[in-house]
């Protein structure tokens, strides 16, 4: 319990503190910098620890983002130390070498306070924004890679290392890029996962299962996909952007006026969106 006699003494002590001088000594630009760097660090840590970083970056580059989160946190500590040092150090005489603003020698396109505020604003947006995996709308906008080219007249033998049932969509696309003959793969087992697209102009009995491929980050992601021929239901049974695991056999079909590699499914199962929905 506080003594009733001590309260008036503390009140008088607080009233004697020159608050105007204290506020005047706060380096507000450094404070804004600390807030900006701290928010950026919190945003990167959130993506890192929350498992959302792989929606934005290739796994090979994730360590750069994680390292940046740690470095920014260390910068915040250094800036806070500088703030405390400035507030409690003795004031310098105007014009002295140690009291001059060294930042005045730097040429910037905009006032430093505005640039720091912009950094803070972008970081706040990134902190409250939750990344989402790309879907069919983005795939249509970016254009699904047209890698299933026209057939050759005489098929040739092509040796494939990976078992057919273990190939992903991107594995099949790469394989067809090397040897674009649909009949060469007819009858091979297939088991792939992807999200559903209903391409315009396709018959009701066809859908596409697609995945996005990342080479560096989400900005350069591009979609690839394989057609699926439905036999017992229309494509309305598989909503756009729903995720499927499709098992069956490869076959060649005439679609969009040309023969293409198409999945003849024997088993279609709806699945949850994977934690990492991209291919590499």
Point out which residues pair with 211 in neighbouring strands. Answer: 224
Q: Is the dihedral of CA 85, 86, 91, 94 positive or negative?
A: positive
Beta strands in 63-188 (DSSP E): none
Closest CA to 223 of 150, 115, 142, 156: 142
H or E stretch at 4:
none
Instruction: Give 7's pLDDT tier (boundaries 50, 70, 90).
Output: low
| Whether the model pTM is above 0.75 | no
Distance CA(194)–CA(268), nearest Å, equals: 11
Distance CA(256)–CA(167), nearest Å, equals: 25
Average model confidence (pLDDT) across the chain = 78
Q: Does the pLDDT of residue 112 top 80, yes or no?
A: no
The pLDDT assigned to 15 comes to 55
The pLDDT assigned to 100 comes to 42
Closest CA to 280 of 203, 222, 196, 204: 222
Selected residue with higher pLDDT from 65 and 10: 65
Selected residue with higher pLDDT from 139 and 25: 139
Instruction: Give 75's pLDDT tier (boundaries 50, 70, 90).
Output: very high
Closest CA to 217 of 42, 43, 50, 55: 55
What is each CA distance from 154 to 150, 172, 179, in whole angstroms? 12, 20, 12
The pLDDT assigned to 219 comes to 82
The pLDDT assigned to 249 comes to 94
For 23-37, 50-64, 222-236, which range has the lowest pLDDT when averaged over its residues? 23-37
256 Ramachandran zone, left/alpha/beta (phi>0; psi -120 to 50)? left
Distance CA(209)–CA(203), nearest Å, equals: 15
Closest CA to 260 of 204, 192, 182, 202: 182
> To the nearest whole percent, how much of the chain has pLDDT over 70?
75
Query: Which position has the token pair 């919190």?
Result: 42
Phi, psi of 187 (to 5 degrees): 90, -10
Q: Does the pLDDT of residue 99 top 50, yes or no?
A: no
Query: Which position has the token pair 């995720």?
Result: 243
The pLDDT assigned to 226 comes to 93
Q: What is the mean pLDDT of residues 21-31?
A: 69
Token couple for 104: 């005045």
Distance CA(118)–CA(232), nearest Å, equals: 55
Query: What is the β-pairing status of strands 222-229 and 206-213?
Result: antiparallel
pLDDT in tens, 168-210: 998 898 888 888 888 889 899 999 999 999 988 888 889 999 9
Selected residue with higher pLDDT from 26 and 96: 26
Q: Which of 29-43, 64-78, 109-123, 124-138 has the highest mean pLDDT?
A: 64-78
Structural domains in the chain plus CATH codes: 6-128 (no CATH), 136-279 (2.40.50.140)
Instruction: Give 247's pLDDT tier (boundaries 50, 70, 90).
Output: very high
Selected residue with higher pLDDT from 87 and 38: 38
The pLDDT assigned to 207 comes to 93
Closest CA to 144 of 213, 203, 205: 213
Distance CA(192)–CA(34), nearest Å, equals: 47
Summary count for the chain: helices (H), strands (E)? 7, 6
Q: Is the dihedral of CA 248, 145, 152, 180 positive or negative?
A: negative
């Amino acid at each position: 319990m506080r003594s009733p006699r001590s309260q008036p003494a503390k009140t008088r002590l607080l009233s004697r503190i020159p608050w105007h001088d204290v506020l005047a000594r706060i380096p507000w630009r450094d404070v804004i910098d600390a807030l900006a760097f701290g928010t950026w660090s919190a945003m990167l840590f959130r993506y890192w620890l929350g498992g959302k970083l792989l929606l934005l970056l290739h796994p090979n580059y994730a360590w750069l983002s994680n390292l940046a989160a740690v470095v920014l946190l260390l910068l915040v500590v250094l800036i806070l130390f500088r703030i405390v040092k400035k507030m409690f150090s003795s004031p310098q005489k105007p014009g002295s070498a140690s009291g001059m603003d060294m930042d005045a020698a730097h040429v910037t396109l905009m006032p430093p306070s505005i640039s720091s505020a912009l950094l803070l604003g972008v970081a706040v947006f990134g902190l409250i924004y939750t990344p989402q995996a790309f879907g069919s709308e983005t795939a249509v906008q970016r254009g699904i890679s047209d890698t299933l080219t026209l057939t050759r007249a005489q098929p040739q033998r092509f040796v494939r290392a990976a078992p057919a049932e273990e190939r992903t969509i991107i594995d099949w696309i790469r394989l067809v890029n090397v040897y674009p003959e649909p009949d060469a793969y007819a009858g091979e087992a297939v088991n792939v996962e992807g999200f559903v697209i209903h391409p315009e102009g396709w018959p009701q009995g066809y859908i596409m299962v697609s995945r996005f491929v990342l080479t560096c980050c989400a900005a350069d992601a591009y979609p690839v996909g394989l057609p699926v021929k439905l036999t017992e239901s229309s494509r309305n049974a598989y909503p756009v952007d729903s995720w499927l695991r499709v098992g069956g056999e490869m076959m060649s079909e005439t679609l969009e006026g040309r023969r293409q590699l198409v999945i003849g499914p024997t088993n279609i199962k709806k699945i949850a969106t994977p934690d990492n929905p991209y291919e590499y």
